[in-house]
Structures are given as C-alpha cells and as structure tokens.
Amino acid sequence: MTVTVKVEGEAAELAALGSARTRTSEVFNSNRHLTHFGRAQAILRSGTIAGKVSVTVSCENCEEKAIDISVGQEHTSLSHAAL
C-alpha cells in the first residue's frame, strides 16, 4: 500500500519518508512511499522559527489522519493522539 504524507506550516518540513523495505527504487525525499507490512516512517526537519505544523497521512482505502505538532525553541509537543 502507498502512503502519502502532507506537512503544512513553516516550522518544519518533511525531510524523508520511507519504510523498512530492503529492495526498492523509491526515493526518500518524496511525500509518497510504499509501506512495509503496512508501516512507514516520516521524518520532519524543524526550521529556524517556532510554530505549529499539521501532518496529514493518507492512503488508499484508509481514513485520512492528521496530527498537529507545536515546534518551539526548547520543546516539541503533540496536540493530538498518535497516529
């Protein structure tokens, strides 16, 4: 199954998206990636400013899920239950 990740906000960006698949021709700097047994990992890179980031994950035949992350100079907190 292919997963798509969308990051909105100026405080962070999608740095990489991938899975544990050992044989793939996919690149890790795309916002779409095949999962490995239904799992994938998205890595965010924080910017130089504090703020909120919204991360939305979707895939075919699945309910879209979103999480809001507060990015600050001293801490990062999740404002929604983990996906």
* pLDDT one-digit tens code per residue, 27-81: 889 999 999 999 999 999 998 889 999 999 999 999 999 999 999 865 555 555 5
pLDDT at residue 72, as a whole number: 82
Measured CA to CA, the distance from residue 28 to residue 66 in angstroms comes to 21
Measured CA to CA, the distance from residue 72 to residue 42 in angstroms comes to 19
Measured CA to CA, the distance from residue 49 to residue 26 in angstroms comes to 31
For domain 2-78, give the CATH number: 2.60.40.10
The predicted model scores a pTM of: 0.80
Contact 26, 42 (CB under 8 A): no
For residue 83, name the pLDDT band (cuts at 50, 70, 90): low
pLDDT at residue 21, as a whole number: 87
Q: Which two tokens stand for residue 25?
A: 């021709």
